[in-house]
Structure 1
Amino acid sequence: MKKICFILLGLSQLMLASCRKEFEVVDSVPVVFQLVFPESFKEGAVPEKVNIQLKNNVTGEVRQLVSDVEGKLALNLIPGTYSLAASRSYTAAESEELIGHAQESFVNASIAPLLVETSTRAVSVPLKVSQAGSLVIREYYYSGVPSVYFYDLFLEIYNNSNETVYLDSMYMGNTKAGSTSAHGFLSKTDSVYLAQVWMIPGSGKDHALAPGESFIISMNAINHRDDPKGNPNSPVNLGKGISNFETYWPYTNRDTDNPDVPNLFHAYASTTAGFDWLPGSNGGGIVIFEGKDFAKWPVAREPNATGNTQYKSVPVGVIIDGVDCVPNANVAADKKRLPISVDAGMTTTGAIYSGKSVRRKVKQVIGGQTIFQDTNNSSLDFEINNTPSPRKWN
């Protein structure tokens, strides 16, 4: 019997050996990231202490890192696909020293997708520069509420400066809605491509916005909680006294028009189908900009797209502020709708029909005026607001 046991043991060992899988060990590779300032910066300046976020697109692991005194970041990485975002702000004094402008400024960079292969040893990270603006998007509510109601969208614009700003002929527009496919315009970094554009009417000084004040643009300027045309699940009242303007859609005569709230002028439409302005509950890019040369700017089809939809091209140099919104935090950076010089990151409400908005974080309060954080990186500047709150930030 003992002999039989030995034979069985030997067979079992042989079976285990034959079933064992051989796994290939993947070694990490040393990679050096070199951050590079734009040519407009002082010669010899080094982008040290720049915040870097590196995400492994396969595992979802996110690492928060900082460049060294040489503007470098050295890491050992497993080959794969990553996303990189970098940003740093500079005070007015630092900006004057670096670029000759005594105004708070920011550098940002984004690389997505970033492919790390076994042969990868060095990656150049070119930084873009931008400056703080007087007007900022303070809050954007786009997610809608359960029962598929999304007509209570609003955008709040805030005067973050210490001077009065006139809003006459200021433009607002949105990109195509967020989706799961890569954005065909991603490589077009000199322009923003908009599906719909609206303009604030006025003769020049009809609409003044004092420091520390805001104005509201609504899809439908009604009390969505109580109005029969609204939805009791809605968290917002956008009626008279709250909304400054609304986006009335006259093409199908199905949109609600509040006669007590003035309408924006519809300046461009990639399509006039549908029955309302529908930028999308999945998010998308939204911008405010100066448009004195609006009629001269061309339209373009999205590269690699199958349709013939035309988008209005708006140079990044006229953009006052922008925010790139996506459906959830798992969306990769190749889905971005705005160039990194406009918004180096992305923000989200976490889910569609959540009844939540995204709002800008408070930076400080000076002389009773709230100053909001503005680094041109919505991943850093914005937070989820569980209850949308037009004109309520204290």
Structure 2
Amino acid sequence: MKIKLLPIYLTIAVMAILQSCSKDDDNDGVKQSAVTLSIVNPDDLSSVTYADLSVSFKELNTGKVTQNSSFTGNNLSITLPEGSYEVSIDGKIKYSADGSAAEASVSGYKESVVITGSNASVSLNVFLKTTQSDFVIEEVFFTGTRTAEGKQYLGDKYFRIYNNTDKVLYADGLIIAQSEFMTTDKQDYTPNIMAQAFAAAAVAVVPGTGTTYPIAPGEYFIIAEDAINHKEYNPNSMDMRTAKFEFYTEDTDDVDNPAVPNMENLFSSMVIHNRGFRSFVIARMPSTVTKTAYLTDYTYDYEYNLVFGGESYPMGESVYKIPNTWIIDAVNLSVESEFQWIVTAPVLDMGWTYCGKVDSDATRYGKSVRRKTLSTASNGKKILKDTNNSTLDFTPEAKPSLMN
């Protein structure tokens, strides 16, 4: 059979149609939006100019990340497929405050930004990044371990707190708190105080008189759930007798090591969520606020409507809040299959980290989240990465340092 050749002009037309179809197929028929991103300056600043701005758009359904740095002043124009996005931004700022010129780094974050229609507008608040002058959370071991028989073992969780500065710091009075809200359950809490304070389900304080527990630059200390040799009961666990402090609750079956000072439970007892659904902060209470005054003046009463089975049930709770200005470091934890939101202000942490990809992931046991090292000095002192974005700052599913 002979093949009949198409005239050259018809061949070109067919190729053009095929290329057009191919282009449509590449976009999978997704409509495009012309997006205008506008930066909202930090409060109380004037004469603001930006430099080295870079924005990242992550589409939540596909995971595709689009980056751009073509800003004109406070605005950027970009074309994106319709979808739901996480938007983050980093850069530098020059400004005036109280009559003085200054420079700083800035960052911003916004979750669940729905982009639809031929044109879309997005506003994004940016925040000043403060210079690190206190401790950081170096590691959280929240998953626990399993016994040789495969049973869940309790009591061997811990926090590792690091002096990331060039001066001696005192652990005395340091607050560690677990979030009231879960990163896997977003509700419309009223009043919403997240921009001003952290809602805490448990608050514990390091004991001491102010200069009892010095921590040298580049050194760390461990706060253990139970400061005992867990290997005696579970060979897959760790010896935590060298911990600096431990959590302890009286009138329970909690184990107490009398050789290790107990954390003071200021509000509730620290029961560390072993799937990583809650977040943690460390903070310092101002010298003008006593513990008694805190328990009197910093309560947080909130309400929300729990929707279940098509019915709405009014709910409420009374807990405590920690002002964001007291907080020196934060880490949001979650799990990919269940993540809904971060439960800190983005100025504290605009990302999250994890152990386990799904809820109740059996592979999470014996893993921790560990902060990355930014650099190491000639004397061996590490500088840990701290961009206020746990997604970037932490290694997820890491080997716990106490297992090394």
Same topology, TM > 0.5:
yes
Offset, 1:385? 5.1
2: CA distance, partners of 1:383 / 1:255: 31
Task: Verify: 1:343 aligned to 2:349, yes or no.
Answer: yes
Offset, 1:389? 0.2
2: CA distance, partners of 1:281 / 1:341: 25
Task: Verify: 1:117 aligned to 2:120, yes or no.
Answer: no
Task: Verify: 1:85 aligned to 2:88, yes or no.
Answer: yes
1: CA distance, partners of 2:342 / 2:182: 8
2: CA distance, partners of 1:150 / 1:49: 47
- Note closer, same or farther for the CA distance 1:95–1:74 as it changes in structure 2 (3 Å cut): closer
The residue number in structure 1 matching 2:19 is none
* Mapping for residues 1-394 of structure 1, pairs under 5 Å: 26-46=30-50, 48-88=51-91, 105-118=104-117, 120-133=119-132, 134-146=134-146, 147-176=151-180, 178=182, 180-184=184-188, 188-224=194-230, 226-228=231-233, 231-234=234-237, 236-239=238-241, 241=242, 243-251=243-251, 253-269=252-268, 277-292=271-286, 293=289, 294-295=294-295, 296-301=297-302, 303-305=304-306, 307-328=315-336, 330-332=337-339, 334-351=340-357, 352=361, 353-368=364-379, 369-384=381-396, 386-390=398-402
- Note closer, same or farther for the CA distance 1:119–1:67 as it changes in structure 2 (3 Å cut): same
2: CA distance, partners of 1:282 / 1:248: 21
1: CA distance, partners of 2:348 / 2:369: 17
Question: SS at 1:49's partner residue?
Answer: strand
Contact 1:32 1:121 in 2 (8 A): yes
1: CA distance, partners of 2:387 / 2:403: 21
- Note closer, same or farther for the CA distance 1:319–1:110 as it changes in structure 2 (3 Å cut): same
Contact 2:144 2:274 in 1 (8 A): no
2: CA distance, partners of 1:164 / 1:80: 49
Offset, 1:151? 2.4
Deviation string 1:248-292 (CA, Å, 9 cap, x unpaired) is 1224x21111122111000012xx6xxx72334224210111124
Q: Which amino acid aligns with 1:83?
A: E
Output the TM-score relative to the length of structure 2. Answer: 0.77
Question: SS at 1:284's partner residue?
Answer: coil
Offset, 1:166? 1.4
Aligned residues with identical type, % of pairs: 27
Offset, 1:207? 1.0
2: CA distance, partners of 1:195 / 1:67: 43
Output the TM-score relative to the length of structure 1. Answer: 0.79
Question: SS at 1:317's partner residue?
Answer: helix
1: CA distance, partners of 2:161 / 2:213: 13
Number of aligned pairs?
350
What are the ranges of 5 or more consecutive residues in structure 2 without an aligned counterpart? 1-27, 307-313
Question: SS at 1:34's partner residue?
Answer: strand
Offset, 1:54? 1.7
- Note closer, same or farther for the CA distance 1:327–1:143 as it changes in structure 2 (3 Å cut): farther
2: CA distance, partners of 1:116 / 1:50: 21
Offset, 1:87? 2.8
Contact 1:168 1:206 in 2 (8 A): yes
Offset, 1:118? 0.9
Bigger relative contact order, structure 1 or 2 (CA pairs below 8 A, ≥6 apart): 1
Contact 2:354 2:397 in 1 (8 A): no
RMSD: 2.9
Contact 2:181 2:199 in 1 (8 A): no
2: CA distance, partners of 1:148 / 1:95: 52
Which has a greater percent of strand?
A: 2
1: CA distance, partners of 2:188 / 2:208: 35
Contact 2:351 2:389 in 1 (8 A): yes
Contact 1:325 1:347 in 2 (8 A): yes
Contact 1:171 1:198 in 2 (8 A): yes
The residue number in structure 2 matching 1:14 is none
Offset, 1:172? 0.7
The residue number in structure 2 matching 1:8 is none
Q: Which amino acid aligns with 1:182?
A: K
Q: Which amino acid aligns with 2:299?
A: P
What are the ranges of 5 or more consecutive residues in structure 1 without an aligned counterpart? 1-23
Contact 2:183 2:342 in 1 (8 A): no
